[in-house]
Structure 1
Amino acid sequence: MPVALRASACTSLPGQHLISAVAEQMFGFKTTSWELGRQRSVIELDTPVVTAEQLQALEDSVNEKIRDRVPVTVRELAADDPEVETVRSRGLPDDHAGPVRVVDIEGIDSNLCCGTHVSNLSDLQVIKLLGVEKGKKNKTNLVFLVGNRVLKSIEQSHSTEKALTSLLKNGPGEHVEAVKRLQSSVKLLQKVQEQLGKVGCHYFLGGFCFFLKCFFIHPYRKEGDSEFMNIIANEIGTEETLLFLTVGDEKEAGLFLLAGPVEAVENLGPRVAELLGGKGAGKRGRFQGKAAKMSRRGEVQALLQEFISNQSPGA
């Protein structure tokens, strides 16, 4: 066994004894197996469910016993000693010979065990129950850390927190919401790519002139928002392109975006909003707002086509 794992076993093993004993005393949850992992340890409990309240009560109780500095002693009994029957055990192998080793946590547990133990529960420092996972049929896996593993976990979590704070440009309390927003943006971009990749997803209308081209886009899906339209505008590019986008139901209110050269957008934006019976605002070549009359998009198209025609050489 590696040295680091052996050192962890010295605290994780008695920690498991303590957790198993208290879980059975408090809730009747019997331990059917356990695993000493390289990063974390797991106890298999003979119960289909462990509630959050039970988990917290169990963690509070075992840490209270650690603070109480309960002694841990090791003794040997003859295999045929009647007291062996009173000790918590999974049973002895059929070929066992010689005395058996009993580990006592004073007033809490007596267990057959051949592993390395501490002399006092205070040596465990602290126990952290990380949570529960679904186990085998009607079983629950309880994940836990003991002693130095808890400190290492805190150190690792703090390092991760610092890295996320730097990447997300916000505090730890806002990390989850920031990641949710990023996930939403990714899904939105995937929608955009899907829509732009299908001929039937939208239509492009309008002519081209030597200096400027004009696109009219109305996605076939009703859902969408301002961010959705801005992503499309960014993908297409609007330095030399006049782009008109809408999202929403044809018969109801929706949203619109006019993007393109700054002078053109400043000139056309308010007129587009007026035609759509809506309001909007803009800056730096983007004018967007709400539209009450989505059915009048054709009139906007005519306005923009007229503008394009007037920009054409020789017009």
Structure 2
Amino acid sequence: MIKEALYYQRGNSGEEAEKELIVLEKRELSEKEIEEFVKKWGGSYSSLFCYRLSESFFYPEGGGQPCDRGSIAGAELLFVEEKEGELWQYTEADFPEGEKVLCKFDADFRRWQSENHSAEHIFSGLVTQHFPYKNSGFHMECFGENPHMTVDFDGEFSEKELEELEQGVNAVIRKNLPIREIYLEGEEENTSSERKDGNISFRQKKALEGDIRIIEIPEVDSCACCGTHLSFTGEIGVFTILSYEKHRKGCRLTMLAGELAFLALEKKLKLLSGFAQSLSRPWTEIPEAFQSLQERIFAKEEEKRGILEAGISLLEEKILKELEEQRKEIEDGEGTATLLLGIPLKDSCFSYYGKNSYLFLYLSELGMKDLQKICDRLRLSLPLSLICLGKKEEGFSVVAGSKEEDMRAFGKLLGEKLSFRGGGQKEMIQGSTGVGFREMNAFIERIL
């Protein structure tokens, strides 16, 4: 923490987002240091330099808040870190010591981070007031397609409690309370999560020593923090909780505040409105409409499964009858033990083709789980090895089962001839192949 840093001066935006500074010190990173940098932060660099500038202009990474985004003399600012009270800025560009360089920070990004960090203090402060939980982790990502911040706690919340906390944060925002900085100088290290120095009580997430910067929101929160913040809670605008999940021995909350939250909520409302319009219902009735739609879909699926089950039963009866007729013909010396049913497989909702001791069923509308159920049922009632095929964008889903044959050997054959990929047990295998109907029928005729 650098008390007099420019990045702590509120209102850094517009013209104040750029300033001409002097390069006081330069260091080129070694190949090993570049490798370590890439491993930690990504990217690809033939050379990398770090600079110490005449003023603390860019915010460094720390406390769950990423460093500023920006540029130095037009070169992208890659990273900023604080070491022993000095700031070091990393870029690919090479500037000589003593040169003046125009530095710019991304004012929108700085503001987004300040909005979200300030909202996180309000949320964590309210949790501290009403629950015996501690904030155990904080991370912000205020850029990309999915901006968000995550906060971890060592306890869990109910849906109602989360709703009340969200409403509480927005109530504090509407009060437009001041967000104040307080500095304590020369403090000794203290490892407790809560401290009281004179008349000042505050939260801290880790052991601190030396000068301490406290962010205070009257009657809401007081916390040791090195991040950037707004001047008043009303500047945040809006706060929303995006998701909640159990994490380790507590929970992880994903949330968003400020302009980014407004944009996310606006996008969500447009999606909901579009969905409501497609259902010809107001968006406030989406839960009821969605439930009704689910029930109709479930009913249709049940009807379809019933028809399919009836069709499978008829097919089962037909095959068993034909096998019995073949058995009688063999006993009378008039037949051969060759099963031949149906016609070559074709792209329809249902077709079957049998030859020798194998029966292939094509069930276009069914997924892997349904194919497994049908295969497991018929393989036990038919004296045949059964191969159930389902539709994929390219090729087939495959489930093969038998009461007697080791289907792993058959799977190996499918792999050699039809590029089948999958696995399973002796009784049943499952996987997929990318061949079409022509190749599948040729395989049946040639191999079986």
TM range (shorter): 0.5 to 0.7
Is residue 2:234 matched to residue 1:126? no
Is residue 2:202 matched to residue 1:87? yes
Is residue 2:328 matched to residue 1:185? no
2:238–2:262 contact (8 Å) kept in structure 1 = no
Is residue 2:271 matched to residue 1:160? yes
Task: Flag structure 2 segments of 5+ consecutive residues without an equivalent.
Answer: 1-67, 70-105, 189-195, 320-348, 351-448
1:26 pairs with 130, 135, 155, which one? Answer: 130
2:212 pairs with 68, 81, 100, which one? Answer: 100
**Counterpart in 1 of 2:180?**
73
TM-score w.r.t. structure 1 length? Answer: 0.54
Question: Could you say which structure has the higher strand fraction?
Answer: 2
Task: Kindly state the Cα deviation for residue 199 of structure 1 after the two structures are TM-superposed.
Answer: 4.9
Q: Distance in 2 between matches of 1:171 and 1:189?
A: 31
Per mean C-alpha deviation after superposition, the further-off stretch among 104-113 and 162-171 is 162-171
Amino acid corresponding to residue 13 of structure 1 in structure 2: H
Distance 1:189 1:25, change over 3 A: same
**Counterpart in 2 of 1:9?**
113
- Aligned pairs for 1:252-291 within 5 A: none
**Counterpart in 1 of 2:57?**
none
Higher relative contact order (CA 8 A, sep 6+): 1
SS at match of 2:252: strand
Is residue 2:156 matched to residue 1:42? no
Task: Kindly state the Cα deviation for residue 194 of structure 1 after the two structures are TM-superposed.
Answer: 5.7
2:236–2:257 contact (8 Å) kept in structure 1 = yes
Task: Flag structure 1 segments of 5+ consecutive residues without an equivalent.
Answer: 205-234, 237-315
1:126–1:150 contact (8 Å) kept in structure 2 = yes
Deviations 1:257-309 (A, max 9, x none): xxxxxxxxxxxxxxxxxxxxxxxxxxxxxxxxxxxxxxxxxxxxxxxxxxxxx
Q: Distance in 2 between matches of 1:22 and 1:90?
A: 16
Q: Distance in 2 between matches of 1:5 and 1:203?
A: 70
2:187–2:212 contact (8 Å) kept in structure 1 = no
Identity across matched positions, percent: 20
Is residue 2:153 matched to residue 1:56? no
Question: Could you say which structure has the higher helix fraction?
Answer: 1
Task: Kindly state the Cα deviation for residue 169 of structure 1 after the two structures are TM-superposed.
Answer: 4.6
1:165–1:175 contact (8 Å) kept in structure 2 = no
Q: Distance in 1 between matches of 2:207 and 2:114?
A: 22
Q: Distance in 2 between matches of 1:113 and 1:194?
A: 64
2:135–2:205 contact (8 Å) kept in structure 1 = no
- How many residues get paired? 202
Task: Kindly state the Cα deviation for residue 178 of structure 1 after the two structures are TM-superposed.
Answer: 1.7
1:195–1:201 contact (8 Å) kept in structure 2 = no
Q: Distance in 1 between matches of 2:268 and 2:128?
A: 31
TM-score w.r.t. structure 2 length? Answer: 0.39
Q: Distance in 1 between matches of 2:253 and 2:297?
A: 32
Q: Distance in 2 between matches of 1:5 and 1:176?
A: 40
- Aligned pairs for 1:276-315 within 5 A: none
